Amino acid sequence: MSGPELGRLIDEVDRTVDVQFAAVGDVDELNRLYASLLGRRGSLNALMKQLPGAAPAERKLLGQRLNAVKGRVERAREEATARIKRTARERELSAPPLDITLPGRWRAPGRPHPIMRTLDEIVDIFVGLGFDVAEGPQIELARYNFDLLGFPADHPAMDMHDTFYIAGDPGQNVLLRTHTSPVQVREMLSHPPPVMIVAPGVVYRRDDDASHSPMFVQIEGLVVDRDVSLADLKGLLEVYSRRMFGEDTKTRFRPSYFPFTEPSAELDVSCLVCYGENRACPQCKGTGWLEVLGCGMVHPTVLRNVGIDPEVYTGLAFGIGVDRTANMKFAVDDIRSFYENDVRFLGSL
């Protein structure tokens, strides 16, 4: 390459150095530009290699000019580095400041469902009286849910209208339990007396109105021992009612019928909402009484069905409607609102 030609190329680089460095926006761009000029394959290095081709008289001057351009590149790089740092710092300083005095964001903590709170309270009362807690499956055998409990084969509770059977079981041997009473059977089959348990759990029936939900919660109670009497049943449930609903709660046993107890009764407690003083009370419908549970003495046939001698042992049993109890404690009109999962409603209880 001739001297003048080389000189022209050097000038061209020289003229563009400042503009090019002024245009880079960040460190990466800057490094790339620098390497394109002074890197191993940089354009200035390439020109350097052309020097020997120039006439000896021109060589010295061309070398000096090349060095001057190199110096200019180094300076431009330093300036660009400083500029990039400065801009970054300015951007940091002009960002909106972190306000540590802003109040935190409120996140409502969850808490147990009112029915579960009610259930816990009931369990606590019975555990305090010496009961153990037992559990059984929600998908149950018809044998435990009905047969061994002495339901006659044509009992209306077994009707399709009341019971959810498990699909694909034409014999209808497997179902969603309709009450917690099958846990009585399981307990007596697996433990010799004395037995003293409560069994909380979810049960299912094909019912759906203001006082019936197709899924609800019960807690079963069972005591089997020598000399368990109706007096024990009444005393126990009176103690329970007073602890659950308050010391001045009155109780009333009404004769009733269950296939697995004899005699059978239903227990009413005095209305917590109106104390019998409001003829139009939405809770007790003006009767002054609220039905809270079914109970009775374990039927001798049931004891025999599970291999316990009814001449030696007797038992008492009860089944508390937990939803109803919660209904009453929280004075809720429609039992189904417990299951609608509206946190405005649930949070208000």
Residue positions forming the annotated binding site for Mg(2+): 262
Q: Which is nearer to ligand PHE, 295 or 332 (CB)?
A: 295
Smallest gap from Cβ 257 to ligand PHE, in A, equals: 10
User: Binding of ligand PHE at residue 299 (CB under 6 A)?
Assistant: no
Token representation of residue 266: 């239903």
Q: Which of residues 131-160 bind ligand PHE (CB under 6 A)?
A: none
SS3 content of the chain, % helix, strand, coil (to 5): 45, 20, 35
Smallest gap from Cβ 276 to ligand PHE, in A, equals: 25
On the 0-12 / 13-18 / 19+ scale of CB atoms within 10 A, 70 is middle
Q: Which of residues 9-48 bind ligand PHE (CB under 6 A)?
A: none
x/- letters, 179..218, toward ligand PHE (CB under 6 A): x-x-------------------------------------
CA 127 to chain CA mean position, Å: 27
Smallest gap from Cβ 207 to ligand PHE, in A, equals: 12
Residue indicated by tokens 């209808």: 172
Closest C-alpha among 300, 349, 279, 292 to residue 318: 292
Q: What is the distance between the alpha carbons of residues 166 and 340, in angstroms, rounded to a whole number?
A: 25
Closest C-alpha among 142, 307, 293, 271 to residue 220: 293
CA 136 to chain CA mean position, Å: 23
Q: Which is nearer to ligand PHE, 288 or 296 (CB)?
A: 296
Cβ-based neighbours of 213, under 8 Å, separated by 6 or more: 207, 323, 335, 336, 338, 339
- Cβ burial 161-188 (10 Å sphere, 16+ → b, else e): eebbbeeeeeeeebbbbbbbbbbbbbbb
Binding footprint of ligand PHE, residue count (CB under 6 A): 11
User: Binding of ligand PHE at residue 261 (CB under 6 A)?
Assistant: yes
Which of 3, 150, 288, 319 is in the footprint of ligand PHE by CB under 6 A? 319
Smallest gap from Cβ 128 to ligand PHE, in A, equals: 20
Q: What is the distance between the alpha carbons of residues 334 and 319, in angstroms, rounded to a whole number?
A: 21
x/- letters, 214..253, toward ligand PHE (CB under 6 A): ------x---------------------------------
Q: Which is nearer to ligand PHE, 7 or 294 (CB)?
A: 294
Q: Give kind and range of the element (H or E) at residue 108.
A: none
User: Binding of ligand PHE at residue 258 (CB under 6 A)?
Assistant: yes
Which of 195, 292, 295, 322 is in the footprint of ligand PHE by CB under 6 A? 295
Smallest gap from Cβ 185 to ligand PHE, in A, equals: 12
Q: Which is nearer to ligand PHE, 6 or 219 (CB)?
A: 219
Q: Which is nearer to ligand PHE, 260 or 338 (CB)?
A: 260
Q: What is the distance between the alpha carbons of residues 245 and 233, in angstroms, rounded to a whole number?
A: 18
Q: Which parts of this chain interact with ligand PHE (CB under 6 A)?
A: 179, 181, 220, 258, 261, 294-296, 317-319
